[in-house]
Amino acid sequence: MLHDANVDPAEIDKFQSIASRWWDRESEFKPLHEINPLRVRYIERQAGGLAGKRVVDIGCGGGILAEALAEQGAQVTGIDMAELSLKVARLHLHESELKVDYQLITAEAFAEQHAAQFDIVTCLEMLEHVPDPAAIIDAAARLLKPGGCLVLSTLNRNPKSFALAILGAEYVLGLIPRGTHQYRRFIKPSEMAAQLRANGLAVRDISGISYNPLTRNYALGRDIDVNYLVTAVVDA
Q: Quick check: helix, strand or coil at residue 64?
A: helix
Among 46, 75, 85, 161, binds ligand SAH (CB under 6 A): 85
Choose the binding region for ligand SAH from 48-56, 119-127, 197-205, 218-226 (rule: CB under 6 A).
119-127
| DSSP structural state of residue 224 | -
CB of 35 to ligand SAH, least distance (A): 8
Give 83 or 235: the residue with its C-beta nearer to ligand SAH.
Answer: 83
Among 84, 120, 124, 144, binds ligand SAH (CB under 6 A): 124
Question: In Å, what is the CA distance from 109 to each residue of 9, 35, 58, 139?
Answer: 17, 29, 12, 8
Show the beta-strand stretches assigned E in the chain: 54-58, 75-80, 100-104, 118-124, 144-155, 201-212, 217-221, 227-234
Q: Is 142 in the site for ligand SAH (CB under 6 A)?
A: no
* Distance between CA atoms of residues 92 and 201, nearest Å: 34
Among 70, 77, 111, 129, binds ligand SAH (CB under 6 A): 129
Q: Is 15 in the site for ligand SAH (CB under 6 A)?
A: yes
Q: Quick check: helix, strand or coil at residue 214?
A: coil
Choose the binding region for ligand SAH from 4-12, 95-103, 194-202, 214-222 (rule: CB under 6 A).
4-12
Binding mask 37-66 for ligand SAH (x = CB under 6 A): ----------------------xxx--xx-
Task: Give the angle 120-74-30 at the CA atoms, nearest 5°.
Answer: 85
Q: Is 106 in the site for ligand SAH (CB under 6 A)?
A: yes
CA dihedral 185, 10, 154, 49 (to 10 degrees): 150
Binding site residues, ligand SAH, CB under 6 A: 6-7, 11-12, 15, 32, 59-61, 64-65, 80-82, 85, 106, 124-126, 129-130
